[in-house]
Amino acid sequence: MDEEFITNVLNINARFPYFITRAFLPSLRRNSQNGPVEVVFIGSIAGDVAAPFISPYAGSKALTKRVSRILHTDERVRSRSDLSFVYVNVGEVQTGSLRIATSFTRPNSDDYARHLVESFGSGRRVVIPYPAHHITYAIVTGMPEALCDHIVLARGRSLLEKIEESEKKR
């Protein structure tokens, strides 16, 4: 990873969502005068655990998680607001960037999107829409940090192997 690599990944995952939300804020505020409006940030469990090789991505998600929470608070400093912000904690999902088989904890994107849309408007600030991701998250983040890092590292290794395997088959 060189500086250009890191900057690019930070631009994609931290800067773009932050700034594009900012650009749309005036119209979102106006629309929220007539009914509820929600800004959703698609995050990742990677923002909470130490998954290998993705520090710029994971760091961006951790930033977004905090930004989302504070933007929600900002809207309520001076008056009531119907503009809400929510951070979605996503686990593994089979997509174009993770082309490996589905499993109990790894739905395909259509299945995931159904749960995602159901989570909109829940009134929570951080949600984990997919039940199996929720269970994984609770177990992993409830552990002592050394054990958590150990398990996430082992998981990261096996994921990389699976990705390599599926690439060889293609």
Partner 1 sequence: MILDLKNLPAIFPLLGLLLALHCIWGVLDFIWFHYLRPTSWTRFLHGTKPYALITGATDGIGRSAAKELYTKGFNLILHGRNEEKMKRAVEEVKAADPTSGLDVKYFIADVGRPDVDFKGIARPFEGLNITLFVNNVGASFPTSRVYVPLPSLPILHVCSVLEQDRPVGRGVHNECPEH
Q: Is 144 in the site for partner 1 (CB under 8 A)?
A: no
One-letter amino acid at 129 equals P
The one segment of 15-23, 71-79, 146-154 that binds partner 1 by CB under 8 A: 15-23
Q: How many residues bind partner 1 (CB under 8 A)?
A: 70
137/148 with CB nearer partner 1 = 137
Nearer to partner 1, 42 or 147 (CB): 42
Whole-number Å distance between alpha carbons of 95 and 34: 36
In degrees rounded to 5, what are phi and psi of residue 127? -125, 155
Under the binding rule (CB under 8 A), the answer on residue 24 touching partner 1 is: yes
Which residue stretch of 70-78, 126-134, 143-151 sits at the interface with partner 1 (rule: CB under 8 A)? 126-134
Candidates 45, 57, 75, 152: give the one binding partner 1 (CB under 8 A): 57
CA angle 143, 147, 151 (to 5 degrees): 105
Alpha-helix residue ranges (DSSP H) falling in 41-144: 55-74, 109-119, 131-141
**Closer residue to partner 1, CB minimum distance, 11 or 103:** 11
Q: How far apart are CA 90 and CA 130, in angstroms?
A: 8
